[in-house]
Structure 1
Amino acid sequence: MKKPLIGAFSALLLAGATTLAAALPASAKAPAVTVDFAGTVALSDCSGSLVRMPNSAAGDPALVLTNGHCLETGMPAAGEVITDQPSSRSFTLLSSTGGRLGTLRATKVVYSTMTDTDVTLYQLNTSYASIKSRYGISPLTMSTAHPVAGAAIKVVSGYWKKTYSCNIDGFVYRLKEGDWTWKDSVRYTPSCNTIGGTSGSPVVDTSTGQLVAVNNTGNEDGESCTVDNPCEVDENGNVAVRQGINYAEETYFIPSCFAAGNRLDLTLPGCTLPKP
């Protein structure tokens, strides 16, 4: 996984891989929307984004999305789900060009897990409307549609203030790394060569501008199923190792677990997030 950074040396050790995807025919391409750093945040050791559900209201408490393995209290164990945990973590809100606009602060961890997926969602002490009024920044909207193979995407790292451009190469039935297993993961084409510190970066579909996944890992050394060296497992149990290839976890199913007011409700029909 793209572990949180501890100095520049760790960043080099955690380097992943980037790809140049085969271009779609010009006639098949949707016009690309502008994808920049607006809506992204930098954590102390990871990347993240200010996000909204499709039904979120301007007055709702704002949410920040990053990886489960970026949780400040330590990586959740396999099978562990954390909800409603107090937090005062701070986030640096970025402008469209990557400049520092101000500091946002959490009140709690709404949800965090590394089981089936790799996500942490924080609730902030302010609303979307207040952030928009003060900083002119709107959140990224989380798509409710499964991402599509071949789609052009950008991985936007608030930590490094760097954007990676590639395509979705395909999907992985099971992605195993150490003790953790993730389902239906996104595989990038090689030009998204994400590194340590890009953990938690939003993966944005350039045809819609919506968030479709959260960047989380890559196979660095060619090892199989070890930490920093995830392996792909298909429906028949066959294992494949793709050294230098990076991955993300889908997010389309997350909005189904949020009720009005950005309130997490894991009992909602259609909610498939792992439960405590």
Structure 2
Amino acid sequence: MRTRALISAGLALTASALAAAPAAALNGGTESSTAYSFMGSLQRAESPRPDGHACGAALVAPQWVVTVGHCVRNDQGALVGHPHGWKVRIGSTSVSSGGEIIEVDKFIRRPGDLQGNDIALLKLKTPAKGRPIKIAASKPTATTPVRILGWGMTCDELEPKCFPDHLREADTVVQTDASCEDAGIKGTEICVGSVDGKVAPTNMDSGGPAIARAGDGWTLVGAVSGGNPGQPGVYSAVPAFRTWMNDVMAEKQPTLDGAVDLDGCSGSLVKTDTAKPSDPALLLTNGHCVTGDRPAPKSAVVDRAEKRKVTVLDRAGKPKTTASTTKLSYATMTGTDVALYQLDKTYAQLASEGAKMFKLAATGPRQADPIDLIAGGLRKSWTCAVGGVVPELREEGYVLRNAIRYTEDCTPDSGGSGAPLINPHTGLVVGIHNTTNDQGGVCTEGNPCEVDKDGRMSVHKARRYGQQTAGIVPCLTAGSRIDLSSPKCALTKPVS
């Protein structure tokens, strides 16, 4: 794969990182005569610049700013997070004064290889007063006139004289992809600047916009990603990510439709693609939510009599219908923390009563995937995202594999155990909520600890986790039965 230099020091913003990046100025540029209401400077404490500038950015909605993914890199490698001390100055030609400066509440970076997916959104703690820029309807073609903006370095040295306070701009065009071929340009990117690189972005221009005329105003067509010396710059084509950006910015609060209140815990009605309307319905919750003895470590419980009332909720969290469990078909707290109850009603009966049922996803979620958590036991819901996948989670003698770590804004409390984690795009259940480190304890009840792939243990107070449920799918057979002997079923089996 051809590579390119990033036009930002990204994570560390160290002197050595800066020296390795392209050092040509915003060639052909001049100082902007007027401010742009949408133009922003992302400022981070790690910047070597006294003004804190790290990257360019553009306001696309009152509380949302777009930049590039490598501008939000962090020590943890998180794709979603709540940074401390990040801020954006918006609507000024000066990087150190004027306009308005607003703290960053959250960053969301698009998953995938930076080459082709170098885009990120910043949610501001308060709405900006300035007028956002509209995103262009489509990726611009070659020869389209554009203007590029930035506060990138104007010379090679890490000295104040190379850090412009005044915004610079240059008028140029979109080039054919061939002009950026050496930089490994992708289909979601555009090549911007002069062919000889004399008009191009420079170091610390990353995230800065390329804008195109639209009537009397401007539209956003690109954000600086990288480039090579003596060539045009490679920009992420912002219109190519419109759907992803709209989904992130929508932050729709999920309804409680289909959530189950299970006497102190939460749950959901689930099925697979092969389930028949005449099959007994199944209820999914946590293994630690069973009423009898909990499954022992390294073991499971199957076909145990347990009669419990099940209340299925409507969109507003009010009872829609009820059912009863006939037996605990399966439960374990090893590998994953799940329990499946068989109900006294079929899928067809519950559907006729207006109950919503969910299908189980056959694959697990990835980092940064959105998830909706609907907790019937709490009558509350959360819009969250996968903060990471933990190779091993230990708690009170139990070991859980590939646990789902939530982002910091996902805060279900006691009573949310067993709540489904639903991918809002597919509507499929990808996991269930199961635990929180309450006091900062080490691997004790209510205080799970993480173990990474190299065996290093860590403890994170107040961090919350869910368990993946894809492993259930290969174990379900006709008639809502569990077949632990199935070749593809890897669920923990009972100890004889």
Please report the TM-score for the alignment, with normalisation by the length of structure 1: 0.88
Partner of 2:276: 57
Contact 1:54–1:143 (Cα < 8 Å) also in 2: no
Contact 1:35–1:209 (Cα < 8 Å) also in 2: no
Provide the rounded CA distance (Å) in 2 between the counterparts of 1:34 and 1:178.
34
Alignment partner for residue 328 of structure 2, among 87, 109, 117?
109
Partner of 2:462: 244
Alpha-carbon deviation of 1:74? 3.2
Does residue 66 of the first structure (1) align with residue 285 of the second (2)?
Answer: yes
Map residues 21-170 of structure 1 onto 2, 5 A cutoff: 22-23=107-108, 24=110, 25=120, 27=242, 29=244, 35-133=254-352, 135-170=353-388
Contact 2:320–2:355 (Cα < 8 Å) also in 1: no
Mark the CA change 1:59 to 1:192 in structure 2 (over 3 Å): closer, same or farther.
same
Alignment partner for residue 268 of structure 1, among 475, 478, 486?
486
Partner of 1:223: 441
Provide the rounded CA distance (Å) in 1 between the counterparts of 2:272 and 2:106.
30
The one-letter amino acid of 2:407's match is T
The one-letter amino acid of 2:381's match is T
The one-letter amino acid of 1:161's match is R
Partner of 1:175: 393
The one-letter amino acid of 1:234's match is D
Contact 2:382–2:410 (Cα < 8 Å) also in 1: yes
Contact 1:200–1:215 (Cα < 8 Å) also in 2: yes
Alignment partner for residue 213 of structure 1, among 431, 435, 460?
431
Aligned-residue Cα RMSD (Å) equals 1.9
State the secondary structure of the residue aligned to 1:261. Answer: helix
Alpha-carbon deviation of 1:22? 2.9
Alpha-carbon deviation of 1:102? 2.6
Superposed CA deviations along residues 83-108 of structure 1, whole A, max 9, x for unmatched, are: 01112111111112211123210111
Contact 2:438–2:461 (Cα < 8 Å) also in 1: yes
Please, which moves more after superposition, 30-39 or 221-230?
A: 30-39
Give 5+ residue unaligned stretches, structure 1. Answer: 1-17
Look at both structures and tell me which one has the larger radius of gyration over its CA atoms: 2
Mark the CA change 1:169 to 1:99 in structure 2 (over 3 Å): closer, same or farther.
same
The one-letter amino acid of 2:403's match is S
Please report the TM-score for the alignment, with normalisation by the length of structure 2: 0.50
Higher relative contact order (CA 8 A, sep 6+): 1
Contact 1:84–1:109 (Cα < 8 Å) also in 2: yes
Alpha-carbon deviation of 1:57? 1.4
Provide the rounded CA distance (Å) in 2 between the counterparts of 1:163 and 1:156.
4
Contact 1:199–1:217 (Cα < 8 Å) also in 2: yes
Does residue 199 of the first structure (1) align with residue 417 of the second (2)?
Answer: yes
The one-letter amino acid of 1:22's match is F
Provide the rounded CA distance (Å) in 1 between the counterparts of 2:348 and 2:408.
38
Alpha-carbon deviation of 1:34? 8.2
Contact 1:81–1:274 (Cα < 8 Å) also in 2: yes
State the secondary structure of the residue aligned to 2:282. Answer: strand
The one-letter amino acid of 2:324's match is R
Mark the CA change 1:243 to 1:262 in structure 2 (over 3 Å): closer, same or farther.
same
Count of equivalent residues: 258
Alpha-carbon deviation of 1:80? 2.5
The one-letter amino acid of 1:172's match is V
Contact 1:39–1:50 (Cα < 8 Å) also in 2: yes
Provide the rounded CA distance (Å) in 2 between the counterparts of 1:47 and 1:63.
14
Provide the rounded CA distance (Å) in 1 between the counterparts of 2:274 and 2:427.
17
Contact 1:146–1:212 (Cα < 8 Å) also in 2: yes
Mark the CA change 1:34 to 1:208 in structure 2 (over 3 Å): closer, same or farther.
farther
Alpha-carbon deviation of 1:21? 5.8
Identity %: 36
The one-letter amino acid of 2:448's match is P
Provide the rounded CA distance (Å) in 1 between the counterparts of 2:106 and 2:311.
32
The one-letter amino acid of 1:74's match is D
Partner of 2:405: 187
Superposed CA deviations along residues 54-99 of structure 1, whole A, max 9, x for unmatched, are: 2111111000000000001132221221001112111111112211
Mark the CA change 1:35 to 1:208 in structure 2 (over 3 Å): closer, same or farther.
farther
Alpha-carbon deviation of 1:229? 0.9
Contact 1:21–1:191 (Cα < 8 Å) also in 2: no
Superposed CA deviations along residues 150-183 of structure 1, whole A, max 9, x for unmatched, are: 0111111001110012110110110001111100
The one-letter amino acid of 1:195's match is D
Give 5+ residue unaligned stretches, structure 2. Answer: 1-80, 83-104, 111-119, 121-240
Provide the rounded CA distance (Å) in 2 between the counterparts of 1:114 and 1:21.
33
Provide the rounded CA distance (Å) in 1 between the counterparts of 2:253 and 2:379.
16
Alpha-carbon deviation of 1:28? 5.8
